[in-house]
């Protein structure tokens, strides 16, 4: 049975209120597809009955928010930002901070962990080995637990993970692959809602906030970018998704080209490194 208008209004209102994600009319099919497994898992006959229960039981409402948070990810996703990170950003920060500085990197909306682990592998293969810490956050409790566990199926490691990295940084556990402890020790995971007040954290050198802003309305984008900028070092780096920008949203950032990728820096960072140029 299809969701009624009132049921969809409840779900879309809940997700917007809790996670600032906008579900416009026409997304009913998406809501039904995401909630059907939850309904079956809780022994509920239909999605409509599950939504009715969620209106009474807070724990089910939390599960709805988790289910409707997009968790599409892969290793070294859209490779160019990672290339820019290793070829332009890391050398720039090493020159500015000195070789002994411990880089602080935030992987926001980390999903099941492929992004922070990808960054860690790249850093381990550079001169920065061991001289970094990565904070990985997501709004989904389920995703944070999965990322923290660091265990992936063969299908998951096949999505973009180079074989040499798989061999070097993973251990085979039955039919799955476990991220090696040596890689995990520099990464911490915590639940964070980007659309809510952020926890106190030390300033970051680099922030990866990719493919997140596209789900927010304009005012939420502005507030998220403002809060992110307040947690960045003045000469830090911000990476967004290919379809995202700070232009026309937060004038506190300027866009620069790093290799074949675009990145954003607080406007106080007026000196671009070799291979990076301003772009508006």
Could you report the per-residue pLDDT of 124-143, keeping only the tens digit for each?
Answer: 988 656 689 999 999 988 89
Please compute the mean of the pLDDT values over residues 83-108 and round it to a whole number.
Answer: 90
pLDDT the model gives residue 279: 55
Q: Is there a domain that residue 206 lies in?
A: yes
**Phi-psi label, residue 264: left if phi above 0, alpha if psi -120 to 50, beta otherwise:** beta
Q: Is there a domain that residue 48 lies in?
A: yes
**Phi-psi label, residue 118: left if phi above 0, alpha if psi -120 to 50, beta otherwise:** alpha
**Residues 44 and 94 occupy one common structural domain:** no
Better pLDDT: 27 or 206: 206
Please compute the mean of the pLDDT values over residues 214-224 and round it to a whole number.
Answer: 93
Q: Which of 65, 13, 5 has the alpha carbon at shortest distance from 35?
A: 65
- Which residue among 23, 43, 68 closes a domain? 68
Q: Is there a domain that residue 220 lies in?
A: yes
Query: What percentage of residues in the chain have a pLDDT greater than 70?
Result: 92
Query: What percentage of residues in the chain have a pLDDT greater than 90?
Result: 53
Quote the number of domains for the chain: 2
Q: Is the pLDDT of residue 275 over 90?
A: no
Which residue segment(s) compose the domain that 193 sits in? 79-266
Give the separation between CA 115 and CA 121, rounded to whole angstroms.
10
What band does 276 get if pLDDT is binned at 50, 70 and 90? low
Q: Is the pLDDT of residue 193 over 70?
A: yes
What would the pLDDT profile of 162-187 be if each residue is shown by its tens digit?
999 999 999 999 999 999 998 999 99
Q: Is the pLDDT of residue 1 over 60?
A: no
pTM for the predicted model, two decimal places? 0.80
**Residues 18 and 63 occupy one common structural domain:** yes
**Residues 173 and 219 occupy one common structural domain:** yes
Give the separation between CA 215 and CA 194, rounded to whole angstroms.
12
Beta bridge partners of 240: 209
pLDDT the model gives residue 20: 81
Q: Is there a domain that residue 17 lies in?
A: yes
Please compute the mean of the pLDDT values over residues 52-58 and round it to a whole number.
Answer: 86
**Residues 152 and 223 occupy one common structural domain:** yes
Q: Is the pLDDT of residue 70 over 50?
A: yes
Cα torsion through 243, 87, 208, 178, rounded to 10: 110
**Residues 52 and 90 occupy one common structural domain:** no
Q: Is there a domain that residue 274 lies in?
A: no
Pairing of strands 151-153, 176-179: antiparallel
Q: What angle do CA 113, 119, 122 make, to 5 degrees?
A: 135
Pairing of strands 176-179, 170-173: antiparallel
Q: Is there a domain that residue 277 lies in?
A: no
Average pLDDT of the chain is 88
**Residues 56 and 141 occupy one common structural domain:** no
């Amino acid at each position: 049975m299809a969701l009624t208008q009132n049921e969809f209004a409840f779900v879309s209102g809940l997700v917007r209120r809790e996670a600032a994600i906008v579900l416009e009319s026409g997304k009913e099919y998406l809501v039904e597809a995401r909630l059907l497994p939850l309904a079956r898992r809780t022994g509920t006959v239909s999605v409509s009955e599950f939504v009715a229960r969620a209106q009474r039981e807070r724990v089910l409402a939390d599960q709805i928010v988790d289910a409707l948070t997009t968790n599409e990810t892969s290793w070294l996703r859209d490779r160019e930002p990672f290339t820019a990170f290793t070829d332009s950003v890391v050398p720039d920060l090493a020159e500015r901070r000195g070789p002994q500085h411990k880089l602080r990197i935030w992987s926001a909306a980390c999903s099941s962990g492929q992004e922070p682990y990808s960054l860690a592998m790249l850093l381990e293969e550079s001169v920065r080995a061991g001289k970094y810490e990565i904070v990985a956050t997501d709004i989904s409790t389920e995703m944070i637990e999965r990322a923290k566990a660091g265990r992936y199926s063969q299908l998951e490691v096949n999505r973009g993970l180079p074989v040499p990295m798989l061999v070097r940084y993973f251990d085979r556990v039955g039919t799955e692959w476990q991220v090696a402890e040596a890689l995990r020790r520099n990464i911490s995971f915590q639940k964070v809602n980007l659309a809510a007040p952020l926890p106190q954290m030390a300033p970051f050198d680099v922030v990866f906030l990719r493919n997140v802003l596209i789900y927010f309305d304009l005012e939420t984008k502005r507030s998220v970018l403002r809060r992110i900028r307040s947690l960045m070092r003045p000469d830090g780096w911000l990476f967004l998704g290919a379809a995202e920008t700070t232009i026309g949203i937060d004038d506190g950032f300027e866009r620069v080209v790093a290799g074949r990728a675009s990145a954003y820096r607080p406007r106080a960072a007026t000196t671009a490194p070799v291979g990076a140029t301003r772009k508006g």
